[in-house]
């Protein structure tokens, strides 16, 4: 199982627009990905309600996991998006 631990780069955390960007990016990977706050229960990264329900704030650590072909590449792209707090989806996602 592939895993990435990243610190949320968006000041507002995974709320509204950042959560929407993240969910779209997670869905676009085509790989089942989960996200959890450090020490918390993982949720489906492709579910807007689940991601919003985490209540993840800027500066908090989250854990991204996937267990499928292409998991490492997918998690690398998602980790970059989250850690850099990008305002739009990078072309590679």
Residue 86 pLDDT class (50, 70, 90 cuts): confident
Which residue ranges form the domains of the chain, and what is each CATH number? 2-84 (3.30.1340.10)
Catalytic positions, please? 15
Q: DSSP label at 1?
A: -
* Residue 83 pLDDT exceeds 60: yes
| 6-61 confidence digits (pLDDT tens) | 999 999 999 999 999 999 999 999 999 999 998 999 999 999 999 999 999 999 99
CB atoms within 10 A of CB 72: 13
pTM given for the model:
0.92
Distance CA 30, CA 71 (A): 9
């Amino acid at each position: 199982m592939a895993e990435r631990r990243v610190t949320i780069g968006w000041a507002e955390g995974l709320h509204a627009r950042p959560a929407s960007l993240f969910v779209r990016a997670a869905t676009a990977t085509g790989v089942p990905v989960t996200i959890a706050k450090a020490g918390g229960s993982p949720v489906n990264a492709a579910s807007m309600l689940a991601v919003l329900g985490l209540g993840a704030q800027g500066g908090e650590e989250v854990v991204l996991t996937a267990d499928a072909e292409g998991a490492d590449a997918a998690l690398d792209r998602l980790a970059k998006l989250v850690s850099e707090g990008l305002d739009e989806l990078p072309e590679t996602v």
